[in-house]
Amino acid sequence: MLKIREDRQALARRIEISRVGVGALLSFLAVAYWFVQIVRGEHYFSLSENNRIRAVKITAPRGYVLDRNGAILVENQPAYTLHLYRREARDLEGSIAFIVELLGLSPDQVRSRVERGRREPEFVPIPIAENLGIEEVAAVQVRAVEHPEFAVTVSQRRLYKHAGSAAHALGYLSEATPEQIKSAGSVYRVGDWIGQKGIEGAYERLLAGANGERRVIVDSHGREVSEANRLEASPGQNLFLTLDLELQSVAEEYFRELVGAAVALDPETGEILALVSSPSYDPNWFTRRVTPAEWNGLLENPDRPLQNRAIQNMYSPGSVFKPFLAYGALAQGLVDPEGRVFCPGHAAFYGREFRCHKRGGHGWVDLRDAIKVSCDVYFYNLGRRLGIDRINEIATAFGFGRPTGVDIAFEKSGLVPSEEWARTKRGARWYPSETISVSIGQGPVLVTPMQMARAMAGLLEGGRLPTPHLFFSSQAPGTGAPLAYKAEFREGLEISPEKLQLVRNALWAVVNEPGGTAYGSRVEGIAMGGKTGTVQVIGRGATVRAGADPSKLQDHAWFVGFGPVEDPKMVVVVFVENGGHGNLAAAPLAKALFEARFGLAVPQPANTAVQASAPPPPGRLRPAADREAR
Amino acid sequence: MIGGVLPGSRRLDLVVLGCALSLAVLGVLFVASATTGTRFEGLASRQAIWLAVGVGAMGAAILFDYRMLLKFSFAIYCVCLLPLVYLLLFGDTIANVRSWIRIGHFQFQPAELAKIATALLVAYLFENEDDARLHASTVMKLAAIVGLPILLVFLQPDMGLAITFLPLLFVGLYFGGLPARGWAAIAVIVVLLAGGAWFLLKDYQKARIGTFLNPDSDVLGSGYQVRQSKIAVGSGGFSGKGFRSGTQSQLRFLPVQHTDFILAVIAEEWGFLGIILVLGLFAALLLRALKLAQTARDRGGVFLVLCLTAMMVFSVVLNASMMIGLAPTTGIPLPLVSYGGSSVATTFLGIGLILGVDFRRFANA
């Protein structure tokens, strides 16, 4: 007992000594810091002022986008951006007032821009206004001595040369969203531009290239004194699209006052020659940073200009669905092409009366006649014989009900019904009478114009479905090796050449024989085939949407054309919302496109030609030689 | 003998608790400053989560009777050393060092926990070795207890972490009562070992020591960090450049500014006043903890508090010296302040044990 107590006293003494030791160590450290920070503080402060190596991004020039013939669709042009250097600003409110006055900006907008940059370290300049004019740049420069906090930098701005043309195919650039900045493997920082939607989004990495970096030594005012080292940017690659600007312009001209979509496709390869969604928008808005008013205008427009109707809107196919059923029934040997059906103008199925679009009826029709005159009664009967699940099988084989795989994002799948779909997804059993509606492309069957174009290409090619695409050619970064799209196909329903010929011939008759539903649209000099479709706008939803505007209750018009019939080189799908009859509203565009494609009419002049004064894009200007030969 | 436990006799030492919490909050603040706009952004909130975990562990350690822990300290020691063996065999390699175990989203450095376990076993050893004279056998036991984890961590190889175990040796020898000739013998052994160790050190470790001895020899290599951190500290001056406005730290001159060099960021942005604040908080915390050691109820408690405090003193002094080139850069974080979840959490666990010893200084069991 005694020994322990003694030990604890010794222990207590050692602890007391250790406390003195710890206190001395910490005091020594405080003195050492005092020496470094106070005595030598000036010296280190000047070192830190001179010792400023700053990393400056070298933005890689973004690749141009050109059409298949080398006409420039998207390029870059110099743009002047006004930056605010907060460290130089003694009176932030005064600075804001000055610049608002000088450039006529909205004070709230300037303040919100300043606010957005607040999280960045103070020496990082905040962009205040983009795309200054030369006069504005001069005005800022003149006052530079009084307001050193503002500086103008030159950068490259994306320019969509033909404004709203092919906007939905091209996409646009916008500032990277917080999600995009945070996503895995992201190289983007606040304020960086990134391709959204369309080609700009799909081929972002190819177009963007890789940014470089300069390490510069700056003085205490942030001015560059010299460059320490640099890592060059590797520029983005130019990208040739399958689009043909001439065809694109013809189609857009046609849709100037109309709402709808058009797709022109090479049925052998899946190359998209034209892609229109109307109304359109100007992608240049986004590079100017859309104002809230413009943005709300875009969002509130009931015709939804941002939506790509060719791949995102789903419509009833109407009568353009019929040739696919005919093909499917023939391919599976489920119909005798010689067999005839009598059409009195109406027919009863499952206790319900179904009308043919021709009041008086078509009389006796066989398969070829039924396609040519689009006889509903014939297809009611065919549809009843097939049943909904076989119709589903045929439609699925033509790629309906699933995305086409086109190389731009946000594509819709459409809808092909089946008994199982009705049971599991819809929650109400399938009624046989619905099958009758589906057999003329009405009822719960929905397709996108792109799906329709691809399906028609598949029908013409004996069942082989090409994957539609916009990528034509480019070059690999680094090596410069040519890049071409590797055409992809999906095999569908096989058919004998004679039966295929029968369907093609019937579609030729639609346009070229008297009595065909598109007889008025035949093209002199080329054998065009096609099929019209007219879709009734029904349902309460449509009535509500139409509101006071009765034109919104007009039928939608479809036309699907192709030519030449013997060896189809182009498929054209035209869809006009509330356009009325397919023959009158949609077929004329197909006719115009074939005339333009095969040089049968004077091509549209004006803006389609490449201007000689346009600066040449960096890199290769023509598509790869092997593609050119086509 | 006092019958039962008098509620009034229990107390929670608010000086230790308050200083520890203040330092940890300061840490979260400056981790945020040092990481905004970098790819490390978000670490501050992670640090805050670990702080909460640490406070939870601290609470548990206060409530749990440390005498139970001492009783089972050998088992705890064995269990806590197992992951170190595991790491040597299967560990991921992060930053050249194999010292982290991944648990879901978080990484954990098991050596931090091993420090606490080793401290417990050393305290247990000296609870029973209570002769006024330090026996040679006790020294051997002590060397074995502390040497094993040092060896395991050194092989990872993380020299910085390995040497943070050394204060435990010192505590045993000094407070155990090693006589003067014992110290002389140890000095001889250390000199011999240091000569031998030079051949065992990795090249980058040698480079760091070389740089320490002559910092201007390699301005762009490993001298770079020391030099830049000195510029950061010195340019802070008396009152600093302002929170988040340090040019050295915000311009990323300091490579690991949110971990080992956090004190340089504080020095640059809050100046000498910031340093006085940090050193003052540490001084209050550590001197108070040593005071608590004096009033602990039993010898085990005394040694436990001494061990835990000594390790903190060692890290604080070494880290603060590193910033201004008074010690080689060894990768030792500033306790409670530097970014590092396992370090913050286990430091709080240690503080919980210290408070627990004090909590029970009159208690009977």
CA distance A55 to chain B (A): 9
Give dist(CA A510, CA A434) in Å, integer. 27
What are the pLDDT digits (tens) for B51-82?
Answer: 999 999 999 999 989 999 999 999 999 999 99
Cα-Cα-Cα-Cα dihedral sign, residues A449, A453, A455, A459? positive
CA distance A209 to chain B (A): 21
| Cα distances (angstroms) measured from residue B258 to each of A56, A458, B33, B164, B338 | 23, 61, 9, 20, 6
For chain A, percent helix, then strand, then coil, each to nearest 5? 40, 20, 40
Give dist(CA A152, CA A501) in Å, integer. 66
Low-confidence ranges of chain A (pLDDT < 70): 1-7, 50-55, 119-124, 184-185, 190, 217-225, 228, 289-291, 539-549, 601-630
Catalytic residues of A: 319
Q: Is the peptide bond before A279 cis (omega within 30 degrees of 0)?
A: yes
Q: Which residues of chain B does A15 touch, with a Cβ-Cβ cutoff of 8 Å?
A: 175, 290, 293-294, 302, 306
Query: Nearest residue on chain B to A190, judged by CA atoms?
Result: B37
Q: What angle do CA A331, A335, A336 make, to 5 degrees?
A: 110
In b/e form, how buried is each residue of B329-365, taking b as 16+ CB within 10 angstroms? bbbbbbbbbbbbbbbbbbbbbbbbbbbbbbbbbeeee
Cα-flanking dihedrals φ and ψ of residue A489, to 5°?
-135, 155
Q: CB A26 to CB B293 under 8 A?
A: no
Strands of the sheet containing A212-218, edge to edge, are: A52-58, A212-218, A224-231
Give dist(CA A594, CA A254) in Å, integer. 14
Give residue B3's pLDDT: 37
| 3-state SS assignment for residue A244 | coil
Give residue B1's pLDDT: 34
Give dist(CA A575, CA A552) in Å, integer. 15
Model confidence pTM above 0.80: no
Query: Nearest residue on chain B to A220, judged by CA atoms?
Result: B247
What are the pLDDT digits (tens) for B151-177?
Answer: 998 887 777 888 899 999 999 999 988
Q: A127 CB contacts (<8 Å, ≥6 apart)? A: A81, A82, A83, A113, A117, A191
Q: CB A37 to CB B279 under 8 A?
A: no
Nearest Cα neighbor of A218 from A349, A125, A324 is A125
Q: B8 CB contacts (<8 Å, ≥6 apart)? A: none
The answer to whether the beta carbons of residues B335 and B244 sit under 8 Å apart is no
Tokens 């560990």 -> residue? B91
Strands (E) across A311-407 are located at 341-343, 346-349, 352-355, 363-365
> Could you give the residue ranges of the DSSP H alpha helices within chain B?
14-35, 43-63, 66-71, 73-90, 110-128, 136-154, 159-163, 166-176, 180-200, 203-213, 223-235, 247-250, 262-294, 299-323, 341-359
* B38 secondary structure, DSSP code: S
Residue type at position A141: Q
Give residue A608's pLDDT: 40
Give dist(CA B51, CA B27) in Å, integer. 10
Give residue A453's pLDDT: 97
The interface predicted TM-score of the complex, written ipTM, equals 0.89
The answer to whether the beta carbons of residues B319 and B260 sit under 8 Å apart is yes
Secondary structure of A107-153 in the HEC alphabet? HHHHHHHHHHCCCCCCCCCEEEECCCCHHHHHHHHHCCCCCCCEEEE
Q: Is the peptide bond before A564 cis (omega within 30 degrees of 0)?
A: yes
Q: Which residues of chain B does A7 touch, with a Cβ-Cβ cutoff of 8 Å?
A: 130-132, 299
In b/e form, how buried is each residue of A61-90, taking b as 16+ CB within 10 angstroms? bbbbbbbbebbbbbbbeebbbbbbbbbbbe
Q: How far apart are the first and last CA of chain A?
A: 106
What are the pLDDT digits (tens) for B187-237?
Answer: 998 888 888 877 777 777 777 666 665 555 444 445 667 778 888 899 899
Q: How confident is the model at residue B22 (pLDDT cuts 50, 70, 90)?
A: very high
Give residue B352's pLDDT: 96
Task: Report the residue from A16, A33, A44 with minimal CB separation from B235.
Answer: A44
Q: Is the peptide bond before B157 cis (omega within 30 degrees of 0)?
A: yes
What are the pLDDT digits (tens) for B239-266?
Answer: 988 887 777 666 555 656 777 889 999 9
- Calculate mean pLDDT across residues B26-39: 82
Nearest Cα neighbor of A511 from A574, A588, A452 is A588
Q: CB A45 to CB B175 under 8 A?
A: no
Tokens encoding B126: 């000296």
Give dist(CA A14, CA B294) in Å, integer. 10
| Cα distances (angstroms) measured from residue B327 to each of A22, A302, A369, A467, B333 | 17, 71, 97, 66, 13
User: Is the CB of A358 inside 8 Å of chain B's CB atoms?
Assistant: no
Q: How many CA atoms lie within 13 A of A399 on its CB side?
A: 27
Give residue A466's pLDDT: 95
Q: What angle do CA B324, B327, B328 make, to 5 degrees?
A: 105
User: Is the CB of A144 inside 8 Å of chain B's CB atoms?
Assistant: no
Give residue B102's pLDDT: 60
Give dist(CA A458, CA A402) in Å, integer. 15
The answer to whether the beta carbons of residues A128 and A116 sit under 8 Å apart is no
Beta bridge mates, A529: A562
Q: CB B232 to CB A26 under 8 A?
A: no
Number of Cβ atoms within 10 Å of the Cβ of A493: 20
The answer to whether the beta carbons of residues B361 and B295 sit under 8 Å apart is yes
| Cα distances (angstroms) measured from residue B66 to each of B62, B111, B112, B354 | 8, 21, 19, 9
DSSP per-residue codes, A470-535: -EEEEE-TTT--EEE----EEE-----HHHHHHHHHHHHHHHHSTTSTTGGG--TTS--EEEEEEE
Return mean pLDDT, chain B: 84
